[in-house]
Structure 1
């Protein structure tokens, strides 16, 4: 038993502060309103207060903190993307992740595992080589490995894939890691609150008011708030929010499902992804196998899970890891993935003055949590896009200046 817990048990009074604040009334005015109390929203609030001294901020969450896509993702962190813009952005996020536990004084269960992206075809192997060269050029550790290395590092995997799609090699990304998604959101939320930010759960945004093309306030189910800056960080609910300000985006919403098995003795110390089979798997600190696939095939604003997903995932998983046939699936769930045509996010300023957008994250939003919060906080403070997110501006679709990240983002969560 930890000594701190034993000491706590013998104390007559317990003066530990609440992890989260008690609910309080909304003020009539805030300098900044952040819509969305997930990881991105909380990170933005945290860095607004910490880096820029902006604390007159309200975070509005229609449910509870981290209850949306933050609590429904599969916690993989990596930076082995295909474009220079993506690699620089996500590598910054990995570096921020590595220091978060110290920043928060909270264990976020960050665990560097190494990340294997399998290639089953000649074309997939060419893409892996392409990604490795882009990564190495930008100082990110990624290498193409052969079957011998895979057999040594992942000995429990059937490289023949039951004869259906034999593995030909893989992209190995040493910094690939996993973290506790709830702890990341909670750490940012507590840090923001301790610096003066207000967190309002169970508060639904009904409309955003504008005056002469500028944001002037937010209507909620708890009353009206005047403000000069609003940032939307709501993932799958983005179309509902952007419609309030008359903003058109190319985002489409697809359900993304995942599941976990019953806990088993730790054996899997790496992350394995197959873009061709549309599966990925890692093992949690509790011993569960965390598994997922690509997004569902139809546009749907829903978090309903399905048997069809479990059946299809199991078929592919058994090809790669036959022994998992003995494990029971304990839980499955779904989130709403907001996906753009070029599989890169939309970030920064918009044509509506004072309205900022952080959206289009698809299946890769969790790994961007720290860098998204930090760069969007800088963008709000300076009222112009941070250099890291300029390539992800909304206007790129009108300018035909797309980022083109599908080759590294479509299933490699």
Structure 2
């Protein structure tokens, strides 16, 4: 494989809806990705939170390969073992009652919206279908989930949008209460707004939202596509908030690298979703479920979960000591880094890549989503590269007329 050839072919034939980094990834192992010419990168992106066990974890790969040799697909007209096993484990782990499997986070969020509207229709009739989401949220790129996304930048070009979505200011209960009326059926939250800059919601605000939903019989949906499956140090981020939603959505890290989404529902909402109300050709695919079961195997270990929290504390403490770092946000191994004026996250990303460290951005912040398997050594290696990169930036000149 030749990097220049791959990039040229991609430029010629792939629809360029992505701003790709100018590197080719050929293979990977654990925390490291490798290019065709021997380039090696310490990966603190995990495929945007997908490769929860890093690259090509042996037990995960064996589980996927074993299933591929048995049954790659049938349809949801029949039962399969990996699907039912995964469903039971997710329900037992989260305290939810039922699961619907999809292929992505956007599909999971679509299913959650449908289930919330179905509950409201069954109990209150037509006309109670509005979903309140938060300003700065991100819920997907289908038309419905794009409309649910509370960021205008994602709404350019693609109207008209679906009716039935309004946006409250995150953290402002009065903003939220002002939007609740006889048409409202659900409130949808990300506990940490990932694409919105890795900003965690205030626990008191989250408790107030749950109370409001209880008082008005609104369905509370929590989008854990990025925060779930151990990313924030507990299996669900909801656990950190002592929150019990009506619906939780998962994707990204659940499959360990294979496409899967899940809608977890409590019995109150699940009861209305009977045959014909929703579906997905590839939902519950045996190979994807086998990969997800392998991920859950690892997350059952108390020491594995403890390491996530230990490494998160180590990484955050180290980041706060680096030059030009103004603040560190997020929870667990979902981290946002705000820089002082004059330091652009995109420039830091490019410089890190040249030194063999892969990172992400979210709005104006640098974003870190390392695989959950990282060690203290990996944290120190990443901090060393970030420190070297940031030391090369000049401090911003004081504004004219300001006192020094």
TM-score normalised to structure 1 length: 0.25
Task: Decide which structure has greater strand share.
Answer: 1
Task: Decide which structure has greater helix share.
Answer: 2
